[in-house]
Structure 1
Amino acid sequence: MPDQTAPTVARRMRAAFGACGAVMAGVARWTLDIALPTLCVSCRAPVAGEGVCAACWAKLSFIAPPFCERLGIPFVYDPGPGILSMAAIADPPAYHRARAAVRYDDVARSLVHGLKYQDRTDLAPPLGRWMARAGKDILDGADLIVPVPLHWRRGWSRRYNQSGALATVVGRLSRVPVNGQALKRVRSTQQQVGLSRTERARNVQGAFSVATERRADVQGRRIVLIDDVLTSGATVDACARALLRAKAANVDVLVFARVVEGAQNPI
């Protein structure tokens, strides 16, 4: 009869080593938390867990219904589902719907600037989580996530694309595939900051394109376009037009923050 002692001892040893490893990992995490406490992603004050401290949380203006079904701009009262704002009717965008996690105020601005200009890639996970929650209705049923691209020169100097970092987080949480190569910025543009609405639209006109070899990635797909901030909407509108020219079935927009110049009256 075969000896069962050796396999039994081996199993017990593996279990003991596994338990020991778990304890050691817990001790390591506890030690790291003491040595390097988790910090608020905005003001860098110590916090329990991940995210923002209570003071910064209170200053963030999260966007929730009621809002314009097309532009995602908050309404002053709830008119019922599917209602559009005057802005959406008077000047409809190329994209179908836009959603944003927060209003672009002081705290949101500091978070965006940290991610965009200060190499704060640690901001992408919390911002991406808020975006995934805010954009659940447009992510449900989406086929593809596409980040707004940087021109290669700006990408080289910045070393990473903040929209791509956000898209990666949103894609992982929503389980929608991310394609960072489908859309290209084929023309370098000046910064949009300080430009009027008309100047912004002119600045990005013809700046984006889907390469011939990438058209199959886009054709017939329901796409969610990811960016950090929506101001006038000129950039995401130009991107949406390029994707629709490549025969995308639908383009929605999801951003972390959007400029809201005042709550809209529903039509």
Structure 2
Amino acid sequence: MNGRTPARTALFLTAPLLAFLLVAYLVPFLGVARWSVTEPELGLAQYAKLGGDPLVHSVLMRTFRIGLTVTVLSVLAAYAIAYVWVRGTTWQRRIAEICILIPFWISVLTRAFGWLALLSNRGLLNTWLQAAGVVSQPLQMTGQEFSVVVGMTHFLIPFAVFPIASSMRGIDERVLLAARGMGASRLRLFWSVFAPMTLPGIAGAGLVVLVFSLGFFVTPAILGGGRSVMMAELVYIRMFQSPDWGLGAAISVMMVALVGLLMATLFRFARPALVGGGR
């Protein structure tokens, strides 16, 4: 030993990462925060404007509504995929791995245009439905929240798989064998033993997906067609199309504060599951 304590060693090893995060995230955010109180003049007028702007209120509600919907759908789909990945047969695990990893090789822009080609009025899905005689007129599936939710859910499912799969892998098989030995059916075993022990993974996946979804820009902009605007797109509109840099910066700061408050609240209420859910 060279005399350095473990705490000092850990600080030394993480110092480059902390410095990078400070430069890459905190410094730009402080610049945006400065704009929110200096553009067009010094003061809190932009934040006061946010409090009485019905457009901001409606977009904020839509953002959280879509974010919560996407979170629920993504976690449910990710749970099923993770279950197959962890507890399936060999070939089932390989298929699950392909479903998880391949989406990471495709950019969010490519995925959004792929869904646009599939769901638009002249897209593949409407073409097939009309050719089969199921519908006489194309279904309007783009330019609304439905297509935004579909595109975002498709993108975020792989991110939810990993914390859930990690939680599943941490389950002690002896607990499951003991429950089976005491006469629990497969359904009872899953709902009463297996699922509660994966609560830490579910909570972690939900938090990751929700935070990601609240800041989405490309997918809502393409699939929403300007009719399902979310907060990130509203920031872009205020800064580059209005332009109103002060208001756009104020919206950005407000969203960071809301997400931070949401994360702190979720951590507070999910702490019992995170600490003891896997026992």
State the TM-score, normalizing by the size of structure 1: 0.26
Answer 1 or 2: higher relative contact order, Cα 8 Å, separation at least 6.
2
Higher helix fraction (1 or 2): 2
Higher strand fraction (1 or 2): 1
